[in-house]
Structures are given as C-alpha cells and as structure tokens.
Amino acid sequence: MRILSLSNCPLDEHMGSGYVTLGYARRLRERGHEVDLLGPAEFEPLRRLGRGTGYRQALGMATASLRRLAANDYDVVEFWGGEAWLALALLAWLPRRPFLLVAHSNGLETHCAELLRAAEADGRMARSRRWFQLDQSPLAERGFRAADALVTVGGFDRDYALERGYAEPQRALAVDNPLPEEYLGIEVDFARPRVIGYCGSWIPRKGVALLEASLPSVLRALPEWRLVLVGVGDGFRPDEHFPADLLARVEVVPYAERGTQLRALYQGLSILLLPSVYESFGLAAAEGMACGAALVASPVGFAAGLRDRHEALLLNESSPQALQEAIESLARDEELRQRIARGGHRRVQSLRWDDAVVTVEAAYLRWLAELRGARQRPAEGLSGCH
C-alpha cells in the first residue's frame, strides 16, 4: 500500500501522540508499505500566530492532502485528529475516488469535549477553554462520519463512536496503544518504597483539581509516604499547589525521557495516579503498570477496560474523598497493592507493536478491497447490459 498520513500532533517521539503516529508509520514501512507522513510543521499555515490552531490545521490538512493527491497515487489517506474535518469532507465528496479515507484518532475530540463539559457543569473541573476558543465538536463529528473507516486507540473511544453513529461496526477498529519494547518483560520487584506518583501534564483534563484537593490529606494521613510528580513541565511550582508543610515530601521531575529515565521513575513508585476526566488511552497508565506500579485511575481510556481491584483500583466517583480512600486503601494493605500491581503488570504484556501493526494493516487491506470492489461493480453491471 501507499499511504498518505497527516497528523495534528507534532512528530515528536517523546510526546504520547507523536510516539504512536511515528510508531505506526515506521513499522508499516518495515512491512514494505510506502508511508508519507506529514506533521503540523509541514502543513499548518502561519504557525507562529499561536491562536486559531484548529482552524489553521483544518485548512492546512485539506490543502496539503489535495496537493499530494494531485501529484501522487495513494491507496490510503489517513488523518490523525478532528482538525481533519474539512479534508475528510472534501475528499469524501470526490466521485469514484480510488483511495480509502481513514480517520485514525489519537483521541476523539467530540468524546473529550462531552466529558469536559459534564465535568465543568458539575464543578469537578474549571472551564478548560478560553472565551474565544470555540468548540469544534460539530465539525469534527462531520469529519468522522465522512471517513470510510475509523480507527481509535482503544475501546473507550470506539464504543462512543458507535453510539454516535460515526461508523458501522465493521468499519470501526479499536487497537490499544502498544508499549515500547523496553517496557515489556521487565523483571519487577513489587516490594516498593512508599512513593505515590503522577505522570503527565498539569492540566484540568488530567484531574489535577482532584489531586490538589485530596493529596494534602493523603500525605498527612500517611506521614511516611512521599509524592513524585513527573512530566509537569518547567513552569510547575509545587508551592502554588500544595501546603508549605508538605513541600519537603513533594518531588518534581519536570521532564523525563521515555526510555531509561522514565522507566526508573516508574519502578520507584508504589502507587500511580491517573484521575483524568478524559483519556483516549492513557499511555502513562500502561507504562506504569508495566513497571510494577499499582494504578489508581478514573474509568476512562485504557483504564475503562481494566478489572477493578485485580488490574487497577478504579474510582467509582470523581471526588477527593473517593481518591483519598483509594490511595489509603493501597497504602495500608500491602497484599492488595501488590496483587493489583501484579495483575496490571500481566495485563499490559499483550500491548505489542507487532500485533498492533498487523491488525491495522489487515484492516486497511480489507477495507481498501471492499471500497474498490464496490467502485467496480456498477461499471461491470453497465457493461454487461450492452
């Protein structure tokens, strides 16, 4: 196959979305397919403006894909991100096009927006958008419906897409994000230091309001435990988020390289927190589980499919009290904590790149054959009438 792929996220392997997009492109090439992969730096107009990114990406994706298609023959054109709504709508309109049109999502923006609105409405989260930032969900939804097929990074988004009628079940594929090979098969010591960890950006969608409301009480109730915050960025100041009397027990690691550095940090955690309002997948959860940490998470993304109290401890409600009780139950019950950590470690061993790429490759080949077969049948019928 010859594939044209356009990503709404930077092609940076140290970022979760970039890691996934680059991973598929690289491994499909290794399997003999041609993949032309474009990131925002190659198609987004006026990037230095900063504002209006969604609309600029929509215009850039549409323009870049039309330009590439005018110069090259492709079998598959895939778009990562709801910003592709304009490109998907335009390309779907082309009569008798020979290429398969795929919305390959790193997270359904419509699903995310719906959950964020609900969290804002009931006070669980502060408003996530500024007054001038418009909700593009209706446009993204139009794009998803225009595609021939939809691929999501997990069942959580696929179930939502099917409920909303974005695609027929046979044209909607969920593939869990694979882990880097160095995270698989790790020999883990499940006896751990008393450390609670969080890994991710410090943004409302990640449930940080819940962390700020519950962790001070947790640390006071568990005086022998420490807190490590990873990947929160250089601008994060713990004194702006936690009381002064607890700062000596809060360690901040602004950035961590996904390889040995981040792996070592995960292996030093007993409990990993992911109380997000929305996750398409939640790569940090799977990475932490692979390294032997017991996961406490909201039932979103990858965590939505985990067995409660066997592979993770899932929050039955999004409240400071529920999060505090979950953390303290693991901290005070070492047998339960280790059982969940072992179950989580076993669960993620199946998240392998080889399986994911073969699954996507097979789906693309099948959908492409179906598309071209449907395009040919009317012509054959007409020729037979003369």
- Mean pLDDT value of segment 313-330: 96
Is the C-alpha dihedral spanning 281, 285, 289, 290 positive or negative? positive
Beta carbons of 7 and 103 less than 8 angstroms apart: no
Compute the distance between CA of residue 238 and CA of residue 264 in angstroms, rounded to an integer.
22
Tell me: pLDDT of 131 over 50. no
Q: Could you report the per-residue pLDDT of 269-302, keeping only the tens digit for each?
A: 999 999 999 999 999 999 999 999 999 999 999 9
Q: Give Cβ neighbours of residue 299 (< 8 Å, ≥ 6 apart).
A: 314, 315
CA separation, residue 15 to residues 22, 134, 360 (Å): 10, 25, 21
Cα 379 versus chain centre, distance: 42
- Which pLDDT score, from 0 to 100, does residue 16 have? 87
Tell me: pLDDT of 133 over 80. no
Tell me: pLDDT of 127 over 80. no
Tell me: pLDDT of 339 over 80. yes
Q: Sorting pLDDT into bands at 50, 70 and 90, what band is 182?
A: very high
Classified as helix, coil or strand, 151 is strand
Q: What is the pTM of this model?
A: 0.92
- Say if residue 40 is exposed, middle or buried (CB neighbours under 10 Å; 0-12, 13-18, 19+): buried
Q: Taking Cα atoms as reference points, which of 304, 295, 245 lies closest to residue 271?
A: 295
Compute the distance between CA of residue 386 and CA of residue 284 in angstroms, rounded to an integer.
62
Compute the distance between CA of residue 362 and CA of residue 354 in angstroms, rounded to an integer.
12
pLDDT averaged over every residue in the chain = 93
Q: Tokens 């598309």 — which residue? A: 371
Compute the distance between CA of residue 88 and CA of residue 58 in angstroms, rounded to an integer.
10
Task: Say which residue, 324 or 96, is predicted with more confidence.
Answer: 324
Q: Sorting pLDDT into bands at 50, 70 and 90, what band is 268?
A: very high
Compute the distance between CA of residue 321 and CA of residue 339 in angstroms, rounded to an integer.
23
Q: Sorting pLDDT into bands at 50, 70 and 90, what band is 207?
A: very high
Give the count of beta carbons closer than 10 Å to the beta carbon of residue 366: 14
Q: Indicate the angle between helix axes 283-290 and 260-267, nearest 10 degrees.
A: 70
Helix intervals (H) in 196-309: 208-221, 260-267, 283-290
Tell me: pLDDT of 382 over 50. no
Compute the distance between CA of residue 362 and CA of residue 346 in angstroms, rounded to an integer.
26
Tell me: pLDDT of 140 over 70. yes
- Which pLDDT score, from 0 to 100, does residue 257 have? 84
Q: Taking Cα atoms as reference points, which of 315, 241, 243, 238 lies closest to residue 277?
A: 315
Give the count of beta carbons closer than 10 Å to the beta carbon of residue 59: 18
* Length of the chain measured in residues: 386
- β-sheet bridge partners, residue 2: 34
Classified as helix, coil or strand, 46 is coil
Q: Which two tokens stand for residue 207?
A: 């449930």
Tell me: pLDDT of 77 over 50. yes
Q: Sorting pLDDT into bands at 50, 70 and 90, what band is 384?
A: very low
- Which pLDDT score, from 0 to 100, does residue 386 have? 32
- Which pLDDT score, from 0 to 100, does residue 324 have? 98
Tell me: pLDDT of 24 over 60. yes
Q: Which two tokens stand for residue 19?
A: 């890691």
Compute the distance between CA of residue 345 and CA of residue 328 in angstroms, rounded to an integer.
21
Q: Sorting pLDDT into bands at 50, 70 and 90, what band is 385?
A: very low
Specify the range with the lowest mean pLDDT, choosing from 12-21, 71-80, 241-250, 364-373. 12-21
Compute the distance between CA of residue 307 and CA of residue 294 in angstroms, rounded to an integer.
13
